[in-house]
Structure 1
Amino acid sequence: MTAFILVAGVHTGGWVWQEVADRLRGAGAEVYPVTLTGMGEQARAAGPDTDLETHVHDLLRVIDQVDAAEVVMVGHCYGIYPVLGAADRRPERIARIVHLDAGMPRNGDQALTLVPEQALRERLLNRADAAEDEGRIPPPSRDEWHRWGSVEGLPPTVLARLAENAVPQPVGTLTQPLRLSGAVSELPATGVLCTANGSSIAMVEGLVGLGDPRFQVLTDPRVSFFELHTGHWPMLSRADEVAEVLLRAAAGEGHRVSVTVSEQPAHLRPFLMDVPERPRERVGRVDLHLPDAPAEDGSPWPAVVFVHGGPVHPDVRPTPRDWPAFVGYGRYVASMGAVGVTLDHRLHDLADYGRAADDLAEAVHLVRADPRVDESRVALWYFSAGGLLSADWLAAPPPWLRCVAATYPVLAPLPNWGRVDSRFRPADAVRTAGRLPIVVTRVELERAEIAVTVEEFLAAAKECDADVEVIDVPLGHHGFETTEHTEQASRAVERAVRSVLGHLRR
């Protein structure tokens, strides 16, 4: 007999699991949908001292009362914090942890990162005027739930019920750090990823492939994954599928992420074009790929600054400016008479966009100050999640910025990227870009969660009549420059480079 302990996210209670619980019981399982202290129908039980530790003890009491041989703990959103805290103290009782559209919090982490508003997060940390309702955070209104996670798949009546039944969240549950001994890390785990909320198996495999040590644990054979094509509340939008996935997870099924040591990671494979070496100068975090000779008229060169994505862990080697794709782009534009600039900005975590933006601004200043560069002719070219860094420049384009380019970009924070400041929304910033030329390279086989942001950006650009050129890569994937050495992929790169350089020479 398997027992499932189900723990939901912020502002909710055990009631959200009703349909899933019914289906699991119909399959012969024991089910314990938990309403934590201060949540759901227990809202009035919250006091000024209700915190994460309170919720951990709630779950310990449930675990100790369960007689089933196998206990599977399921944490959704915030629920994964008390789930991990309790499982860490009763590891001998737990058969598997299921992260249902939930992160991978570690010892010392706070659930505060789930709060979508930076200003509110800062107030909560200071505990001064932190929240209304005597130390509790009011739930979002019906029209604001999407800011806490995608509501895709929820019929209007269900979304209304979610909003009506939501209760204030005790502040201490979000601000108290999670305490783990390490015992929970030895337990089998399953990640259930909701693609409409910005997660996918492809994204996990991409993070593992980058060599980020934080994600190497995901290659453990005891770790499995499933995808659900819905938003952040799958128990309300896809109850049947959730129940099926939980039963399969308990049985040890699911996709495994593996890394073949002998196989070269995708981002370290050769650039799709054979571009001869060019002189390269390194200044701090910035590399300059230089043309072989000055312009015929002796004028300074224009420059193209290539901005990598991420997050990239600081220990990853080689760093992005030495990845074949960026070296290839730098050399390519240098061969055509422009300075190709690559840099290592410090986007090591989703909360680092502000710091990465500062690094980019510093690099641009350095490049424009170089006497070999024409300070009035610079283009910025963004890749993948680096696309969010284009927002500042689109919002108020300086006169020297002749073009913004973006290749397989993320152009709006994904729904589960709560720690990203709202300032980094190119899909909004494009409305004030005026007639600044924008070149977007779009891959046909883009990850669904990223493709949505590109379409949102293009729709906004169309509404404001922005100057956008779209270059499509048929059958292209994210990161195609090192994985798809095809004629159509090479043509797309050639066309994009010529378009950007054309804007620089006008």
Structure 2
Amino acid sequence: MTEFILVPGMFTGAHVWEETAAHLVSAGAGAHTVTLTGLGGSRGGAADAVGLETHIEDVLAVIDSVAAGTRHQDGIVLVAHGYGTYPVLGAADRRAERIGRIVCLDTGPGQDGVPALATVPDPALREDLVGRAGAEGAGEDLAPPARDAWQRWGSTAGIPEAALDRLTALASPQPLATLLQPLRLTGAAGALPVTGVLCDANGSSIAMVQQRVDFGDPVLLPLAGPQVSFFELPTGHWPMLSLPAELADVLLRAAAGEGHHLVPPGSGELPSHLRPFVVDVPELPRERTGNVDLYLPDAGGPRPAVVFVHGGPVPAGVEPTPRDWPLLRGYARYAAAEGMIGATIDHRLHDMAGYPRAAEDVAAAVERVRADPRVDADRIALWFFSGGGLLSAPWLSRPPAWLRCLAASYPVLAPIPAWGPVDSGFRPADAVAEAGALPLVITRVGREMPGIAATVEEFLTAAAKHGADTEVIDVPNGRHTFDALDRTQESREAVHRAMRSVRGHLSS
């Protein structure tokens, strides 16, 4: 018998777990849903008396009740959604001997000394909440979202209309103190098995977490430990409403010790960003100036240039830097082999707030390339990758005459809410309305993460509406970063087609 304790996130109560709990019970497990004090229609006291400590006590009471029952045989599995991770971790720290596993549902790991305010995706809202608490005390409640505003807190993909109506109708204000009080941990639960369940339509995936670990992100490095496992679900932030049966199955598998384990750095397996380019291209020397590397063709006269703009965010201090990654070097050498000048650059997209800074770096690098006497300054193409796709927006909205083509491979072309807010100037799906006759070459992969794929479709819909000159190169079996991960003829042909298209636009 496995006993699950299901703890909801912000604004919600036990009601969100009803279907998932029923599936767990039908599978022979125990399921205990928690309504945290002040949420789910239960005030349980004055708002100014409800804080994170109150919610930790709520979870402790359920743990003690379940542990005292005659049906309890194995360690309890604590399941936390969103904000619920904070009371769950606080309770597990005090009852570690009774806990068999912690499951974090579409949320990151909480840390000692950090308040749950860190789970609020919008920095402006975080600042506002801190300001309100400072001016009025922590007794104020945070109003729940309106029906059309849940997306601000996470993707609603997959939630049936009736379930979204019910979620809104039963939502409760969140006591502000629950978000402001820091989580305090002694480390007693540090060795407990942990499973993360990632919802890919909300903008997270195992591959993305692995990449951050490969980059050496100190916050995420512990997730590569042997006690941590992962699952993915193809849905938005509320899988208990969109995929309740599938979520129950994942919880049962997690309790049984199943799941994907991340590869720790130094294990001998080559990280995705260091894998070789899918196309064999000639080795060429490079010239480095500032944040720009040039790969020169064996051809006379000023030549057109392609500037390759890497994705991100990439944490500061990562070595090698993106312009030295085999993928970007491969593209630049390929461009040079085709008679163009290939340019790779480094820019400072280190976090979601870094897009304006990175855009300045890209603009300065482009001008450095155009100023080189070997470059035909009137024939330039820009080629964006992954999260760098948002950096295309300024060029789409104000395309200069010398920009002959804009390409993007497996790009993010509209902000993903779960990643946090992005400056309003970086919305390619809006900016494409002003692209005019600028040729666009978009490489789209069939096995893209749904959250990213949705941004591509939003962009293409807008491009079609405004009559943009758009060519789409599909890689049906390709993954994100297919040009390094998928060493297939399909991948090579897609790269060839994209490069030929860019070359053609630069030659016209």
Partner of 1:13: 13
CA 1:93/1:145 → structure 2, altered by over 3 Å: closer, same or farther?
same
Partner of 1:340: 342
Q: Could you list the runs of 5+ residues in structure 2 that have no partner in the other structure?
A: none
Amino acid at match of 2:330: G
Partner of 1:305: 307
Tell me, in whole angstroms, the C-alpha distance in 2 between the residues paired with 1:424 and 1:11: 30
CA 1:319/1:30 → structure 2, altered by over 3 Å: closer, same or farther?
same
- List per-residue Cα deviations over 1:195-235 (Å, max 9, x = no partner): 33233344444544555554443333322222333322121
Moved more, 120-129 or 268-277: 120-129
Partner of 2:430: 428
CA 1:81/1:377 → structure 2, altered by over 3 Å: closer, same or farther?
farther
* Runs of 4+ residues over 6 Å off in structure 1: 128-134
Q: Could you list the runs of 5+ residues in structure 1 that have no partner in the other structure?
A: none
Give the conservation status (yes or no) of the 8 Å contact 1:123–1:130: no
Partner of 1:276: 282
CA 1:27/1:496 → structure 2, altered by over 3 Å: closer, same or farther?
closer
How far off is 1:115 after superposition?
3.5
CA RMSD of aligned residues (A): 3.0
Tell me, in whole angstroms, the C-alpha distance in 1 between the residues paired with 2:23 and 2:500: 57
Partner of 1:196: 201
Partner of 2:272: 266
- List per-residue Cα deviations over 1:344-398 (Å, max 9, x = no partner): 2233334443443343234334334445444443322111222122223223334
Amino acid at match of 1:241: E
Partner of 1:457: 459
CA 1:72/1:341 → structure 2, altered by over 3 Å: closer, same or farther?
same
Report whether the alignment pairs 1:105 with 2:110.
Answer: yes
Report whether the alignment pairs 1:287 with 2:287.
Answer: no
Amino acid at match of 2:314: V
- List per-residue Cα deviations over 1:307-358 (Å, max 9, x = no partner): 1123333343322211111011112223334332212223333444344334
Tell me, in whole angstroms, the C-alpha distance in 1 between the residues paired with 2:316 and 2:308: 19
Moved more, 192-201 or 72-81: 192-201
CA 1:482/1:247 → structure 2, altered by over 3 Å: closer, same or farther?
closer
How far off is 1:243 after superposition?
2.4
Q: 1:217 aligns with which of 219, 222, 233?
A: 222
Give the conservation status (yes or no) of the 8 Å contact 1:114–1:148: no
Report whether the alignment pairs 1:138 with 2:143.
Answer: yes
Q: 2:324 aligns with which of 299, 322, 325?
A: 322
Partner of 1:83: 88
Q: Give the alignment's TM-score, normalised by structure 1.
A: 0.88
- What SS does the aligned partner of 2:41 have? helix
Tell me, in whole angstroms, the C-alpha distance in 2 between the residues paired with 1:433 and 1:132: 49
- What SS does the aligned partner of 1:330 have? helix
Report whether the alignment pairs 1:396 with 2:398.
Answer: yes
How far off is 1:6 after superposition?
1.5
Give the conservation status (yes or no) of the 8 Å contact 2:200–2:449: no
Partner of 2:34: 34
- List per-residue Cα deviations over 1:146-186 (Å, max 9, x = no partner): 23222222221111111111122233333444344444432
Moved more, 284-293 or 339-348: 284-293
CA 1:320/1:59 → structure 2, altered by over 3 Å: closer, same or farther?
same
Partner of 2:441: 439
Moved more, 90-99 or 472-481: 472-481
Partner of 1:227: 232
- What SS does the aligned partner of 2:177 have? helix
- List per-residue Cα deviations over 1:456-480 (Å, max 9, x = no partner): 2212211111111112235333222
Partner of 2:257: 252
Amino acid at match of 1:14: A
Partner of 1:169: 174
- List per-residue Cα deviations over 1:110-132 (Å, max 9, x = no partner): 44354454432332233379999
Tell me, in whole angstroms, the C-alpha distance in 1 between the residues paired with 2:46 and 2:393: 41
Tell me, in whole angstroms, the C-alpha distance in 2 between the residues paired with 1:185 and 1:348: 29
Report whether the alignment pairs 1:356 with 2:362.
Answer: no
Amino acid at match of 2:443: T
State how 1:476-487 maps to structure 2 within 5 Å. Answer: 476-487=478-489
Give the conservation status (yes or no) of the 8 Å contact 1:377–1:504: yes
Q: Give the alignment's TM-score, normalised by structure 2.
A: 0.88
Tell me, in whole angstroms, the C-alpha distance in 2 between the residues paired with 1:5 and 1:312: 36
Tell me, in whole angstroms, the C-alpha distance in 1 between the residues paired with 2:313 and 2:270: 20
- What SS does the aligned partner of 2:495 have? helix
Give the conservation status (yes or no) of the 8 Å contact 1:43–1:167: no
Tell me, in whole angstroms, the C-alpha distance in 1 between the residues paired with 2:168 and 2:252: 29
CA 1:364/1:22 → structure 2, altered by over 3 Å: closer, same or farther?
same
How far off is 1:274 after superposition?
3.0
Q: 1:239 aligns with which of 219, 222, 244?
A: 244
State how 1:151-190 maps to structure 2 within 5 Å. Answer: 151-190=156-195
- What SS does the aligned partner of 2:17 have? helix
Percent of matched pairs sharing the same residue: 60
Partner of 1:96: 101
CA 1:263/1:45 → structure 2, altered by over 3 Å: closer, same or farther?
same
CA 1:105/1:309 → structure 2, altered by over 3 Å: closer, same or farther?
farther
Amino acid at match of 1:281: E
CA 1:311/1:239 → structure 2, altered by over 3 Å: closer, same or farther?
same
CA 1:130/1:355 → structure 2, altered by over 3 Å: closer, same or farther?
farther
CA 1:414/1:63 → structure 2, altered by over 3 Å: closer, same or farther?
same
Moved more, 266-275 or 142-151: 266-275
Tell me, in whole angstroms, the C-alpha distance in 2 between the residues paired with 1:264 and 1:234: 33
Give the conservation status (yes or no) of the 8 Å contact 1:120–1:130: no
Q: Count residues in correspondence.
A: 502
